[in-house]
Amino acid sequence: TVKKRKKIYDQPKYRNLLVNRMSRHVVSHTHKPYQSRLEKTFNKFRQRVRRESLALRARMGIPEHIYPFDPTGFEDFVWNAMFSRSLPASDYARITRASFAVLQPPWDDMHMVGMSGMVARYPLIDSRGYDFFVGQTPYPARFPRRTRLLIRYHDAIPIFLPHTIDNVSIHQAMHFRALRYNVKKGAHFICTSESTRSDLLRVFPHVEDRTSVIHDVVSHNYYHESAPRERLAEIIKSRIDKSTEPKFLTSREKIRFYETSTKPGTLRYIMVVSTIEPRKNHLKLIGAWEILREKVPGVKLLIIGSRGWNDERTLEAMRPWQERGELFHLSRVPAADLRVLYNGADAVVCPSRAEGFDLSGIEAMLCGGVVVASDIPVHREVYADNCEYFNPYSTLDMSKALLRIVSPEGEERRRELIERGLEHAKRYRKDNIAPKWEELLHRLRG
């Protein structure tokens, strides 16, 4: 049990075993570049052996142990790997002194084990001593009766929009089979929105009394901060994604290109923040922006986010505009830069065809940005009437919505949405959301 292992590790002569275990865990989280075919082949062999061993233990009911992880000496890893992007630096000491635990089997291994037979048989987790286990997305494991499984359910996109996801067959099967197993084993589902909850109940209507809705929390990093156009231009130039950047013959040519295309005196832009993937609707946005430019010349487009999957057509549509210095693809943009980009944009566009919550619109509102969003149920729920809506399947309708905000005639509407958005978005701060978690856990514990 966990208590027995803690007693063993507390003995000075066995302390080195615990430190080595934790150090190896840190290593397992690092990127492993393979330099030869032999190394790749060996890794595949190790993975197969590991999964077969895990499957055997699952069939025999041998539990997977939860190991203590003492962050002493590993504070830098704990903070930077898991918390630095979402929590303020003032929380560093409190977080790195907390108690942590580690589950050894990889998440994807547990999924594959559960899918390996006609009847799902996921690994058993030895969670004795824990009241709850909170899993992100459908979780590929089973637990003793005294531990209540809580699933933080973000969206049902792998079920209803499988054509928009990566590794379609595997991803859809992993999601659905684990979800069905969690339902069977009595899990409670904490959905990120009422829209997500409705999707879940379309598949499993009988679990209604085991569902709750607690919205996502927006990071403290997003607040109203304006910046001169000179700073915005520098951010754009410094955050260009190298994988899609136009080719230049010399560094001087590159510098001249960006200096010309991001002149602070004339810099205007609309922006989108999301991974480049099909359901995020970048192609429709580019088309709408092209129409907008005919009526409001000089408005540039910032696409902020990493490349995802099935992005070839989007990149092809981006390329000619990138070469003309009218469209910029940025990535790895820190919150300190992102919040002033939100504030300085003529419009922040949330064009997705489907979402589980969509934080970017709320982030933008908190930063004093104006949001133009697709008219989908989750946006109506989360953004309410504090943005301009459009049909996500109509390029023309999107362009009209943008024009209502970006044109000189839209100035009054802009001021109205900024004022209302700043107030509305506060409901997604931690101080308003955390009590809902506390109340739910207290109620479920009885």
Confidence of residue 7 (pLDDT cuts 50, 70, 90): low
Residue 412: HSE in the Cβ half-sphere, 13 Å Cα cutoff: 1
Tell me the average pLDDT across 122-132. Answer: 95
- On the question of pLDDT at 1 being above 50, the answer is no
- On the question of pLDDT at 8 being above 90, the answer is no
Long-range Cβ contacts of 316-322 (<8 Å, 24+ apart)? 317/282, 317/283, 317/286, 317/287, 318/244, 318/282, 318/286, 319/244, 319/246, 321/286, 322/244, 322/245, 322/246
Of 5-19, 129-143, 361-375, 398-412, minimum mean pLDDT range: 5-19
Of 2-11, 18-27, 233-242, 293-302, minimum mean pLDDT range: 2-11
Question: Against a cut of 0.85, is the pTM above it?
Answer: yes
* Amino acid 13: pLDDT: 67
Task: Assign 279 to helix, strand or coil.
Answer: helix
Tell me the average pLDDT across 319-334. Answer: 98
Residue-range domain boundaries for the chain: 105-217+429-446, 229-427
* Amino acid 28: pLDDT: 76
Tell me the average pLDDT across 327-356. Answer: 98
CATH of domain 229-427: 3.40.50.2000
Measured CA to CA in angstroms, residue 267 lies from 2, 81, 145, 346 at distances of 59, 36, 60, 10
Beta strands in 160-316 (DSSP E): 188-191, 211-213, 268-273, 299-304
Confidence of residue 34 (pLDDT cuts 50, 70, 90): low
